[in-house]
């Protein structure tokens, strides 16, 4: 009898234990590493001081504990939680070294189900939470699958106005020698590709986010492979060339490499990773583009619009035609909320909604729940007040990242709508980067609204 009971229990266990794959991404410098480090830290410290009042399973005492479990997939680098924690808790504290490429960490969350039937059958259940971190650049490449080399070249060249035009100048001048119908000169293509890559790195360094092909700035072991040696066709004679250039011409080889990149690199990411994700959080740093000006801000909007195509599940979307996705919840989080004063947080959320909604309203997000919030994964400032223009104003205190000096400041008002011409002319916003606060090693990392994020991403799975 005992044996049967045990077997039933073990069967219930197997069927009720759940596995959830949470994907974390963001445009570069949006704080992915800080987010994962803090999320894991809060969950591991559930019974040692984590403050997660808006995470229902924790608030109601149903979440009993969390522990790290061995990674099942031996082929993917592990997320370096321990070294991140060491950097944060050392004196003076410093930000964790950012990750490159993909990494993973898995937690087992033990909880008491709320559901009556499940409670009757078992005391506790386990949710295996696999967190996977990957570069946002990889999502930006998706639309390439819907473009041929000509269309992509047109789009890339149309972007070359203002600063982008200036940064692409060297590449464009070097292209002068490029004869489309001449027999391929691999050295020339390699050198022109290098200049296109230099241009992409320059965009990235200047805080621009729409970088294509994304793999060019994170090549890994593909560095130097012909698959990463192409660039948009720079001249307006595109339509005359297609179909005419010989198989071994410069033009034809560029086109072949573009197609190889789409088929073998872009598609591989979707097949090997994306299709296994259950939930997705996209971190967005809205503050840096506000600092940098109208062009950088509009570029961020463009990048987010591109990125959202990976979540258009409408029947006629590119994505649905190519893949069968499963993500059912998508969270956009404005990171670094602690870098503006509390009274500005609502504006930050409104702004993020405005930025993403353009894409969202025009597309069918069938069966996918989307939300925006503002959070700080690891709080680096303390709220205070300063006297400014004879008024007591909310302010931030912290240590400036550039010189480690303690400062108090009011960074300005975040526009609640897409910024107007007037906003950019006033330059009313000056956001500073801070170092993490020196922290007490006994306490979990301080955060803002990480519990909201946990509730949206995991809450329903812990009922």
DSSP label of 110: E
Pairing outcome for strands 279-284 and 125-133: unpaired
Figure out which of the listed residues 235, 260, 423, 424 binds a copy of itself, where binding follows CB under 8 A. 260
The gap from C-alpha 347 to its chain's centroid, in whole angstroms, comes to: 21
Cβ contacts of 448 within 8 Å, gap of 6 or more: 337, 338, 374, 375, 376, 379
Judged by CB, which is closer to a copy of itself: 69, or 401? Answer: 69
Closer by beta carbon to a copy of itself, 215 or else 312: 215
Give the nearest distance from C-beta 399 to a copy of itself in angstroms: 30
CA–CA separation, 201 vs 218, rounded Å?
Answer: 10
321 binds a copy of itself (CB under 8 A): no
Residue 295 engages a copy of itself in binding (rule: CB under 8 A) = no
Answer for which of 82, 181, 246, 438 binds a copy of itself (CB under 8 A) is 82
Give 219-254 as a DSSP string: -GGGTT-GGG------STTHHHHTTTS-TTBHHHHH
Site membership for a copy of itself, residue 71 (CB under 8 A): yes
Site string for a copy of itself, 157-186 (x = CB under 8 A): ---------------------------x-x
For residues 362 and 37, give the distance between their C-alpha atoms in angstroms, rounded to a whole number.
Answer: 35
Stretch of 151-159, 203-211, 214-222, 358-366 contacting a copy of itself, by CB under 8 A: 214-222
Residue 14, interface with a copy of itself (CB under 8 A)? no
Among 176, 223, 392, 441, contact with a copy of itself (rule: CB under 8 A): 223
Question: What's the closest the beta carbon of residue 21 comes to a copy of itself, in angstroms?
Answer: 17
Tell me if 133 sits within 8 A of 25, measured CB to CB: yes
| Cis amide linkage into residue 322, ω under 30° from 0 | no
SS3 291: helix
How big is the site for a copy of itself, counted in residues (CB under 8 A)?
Answer: 31
Q: What are phi and psi of 20, to 5 degrees?
A: -130, 130
- Decide if residue 68 touches a copy of itself (CB under 8 A): yes
Decide if residue 98 touches a copy of itself (CB under 8 A). Answer: no
**Token reading at 27:** 């445009």
Contact positions toward a copy of itself, by CB under 8 A? 68, 70-71, 73-78, 80, 82, 101, 103, 184, 186-187, 190, 220-227, 248, 253, 256-257, 260, 264
């Amino acid at each position: 009898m005992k044996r049967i009971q045990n077997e039933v229990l073990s069967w219930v266990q197997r069927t009720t234990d759940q596995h959830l794959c949470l994907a974390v991404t963001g445009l570069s410098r949006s704080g992915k590493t800080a987010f994962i480090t803090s999320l894991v830290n809060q969950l591991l410290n559930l019974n040692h001081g984590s403050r997660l009042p808006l995470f229902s399973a924790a608030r109601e005492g149903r979440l009993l504990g969390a522990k790290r479990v061995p990674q099942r997939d031996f082929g993917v680098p592990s997320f370096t939680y321990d070294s991140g924690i060491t950097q944060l808790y050392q004196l003076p504290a410093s930000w964790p070294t950012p990750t490159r490429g993909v990494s993973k960490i898995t937690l087992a969350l033990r909880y008491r189900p709320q559901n009556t039937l499940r409670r009757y059958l078992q005391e506790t259940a386990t949710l295996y939470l696999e967190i996977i971190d990957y570069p946002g650049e990889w999502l930006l490449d998706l639309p390439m699958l819907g473009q041929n080399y000509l269309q992509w070249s047109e789009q890339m060249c149309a972007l070359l106005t203002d600063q982008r035009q200036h940064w692409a100048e060297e590449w464009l001048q070097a292209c002068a020698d490029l004869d489309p119908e001449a027999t391929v000169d691999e050295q020339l293509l390699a050198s022109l590709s290098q200049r296109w890559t230099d241009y992409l790195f320059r965009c990235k360094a200047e805080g621009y986010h729409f970088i294509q092909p994304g793999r060019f700035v994170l090549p890994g072991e593909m560095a130097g492979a012909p698959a990463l040696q192409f660039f948009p066709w720079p001249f307006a004679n595109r339509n005359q060339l297609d179909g005419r250039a010989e198989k071994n011409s410069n033009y034809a080889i560029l086109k072949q490499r573009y197609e190889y990149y789409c088929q073998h690199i872009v598609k591989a990411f979707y097949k090997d990773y994306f299709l296994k994700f259950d939930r997705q959080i996209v971190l967005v740093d809205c503050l840096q583009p506000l600092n940098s000006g109208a062009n950088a801000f509009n570029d961020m909007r463009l990048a987010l619009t591109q990125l959202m195509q990976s979540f258009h599940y409408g029947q006629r979307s590119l994505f649905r035609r190519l893949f069968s996705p499963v993500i059912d919840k998508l969270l956009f989080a404005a990171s670094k909320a602690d870098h503006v004063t509390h009274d500005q947080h609502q504006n930050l959320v409104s702004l993020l909604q405005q930025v993403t909604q353009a894409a969202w309203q025009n597309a069918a997000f069938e069966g996918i729940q989307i939300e925006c919030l503002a959070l700080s994964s690891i709080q680096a400032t303390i709220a205070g007040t300063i006297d400014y223009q004879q008024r007591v104003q909310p302010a931030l205190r912290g240590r400036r990242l550039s010189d480690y000096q303690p400062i108090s400041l009011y960074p300005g008002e975040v526009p609640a709508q897409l910024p107007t011409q007037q906003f950019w002319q006033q330059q009313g916003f000056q956001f500073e980067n801070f170092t993490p606060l020196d922290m007490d090693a006994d306490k979990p990392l301080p955060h803002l609204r990480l519990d909201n994020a946990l509730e949206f991403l995991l809450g329903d799975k812990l009922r």
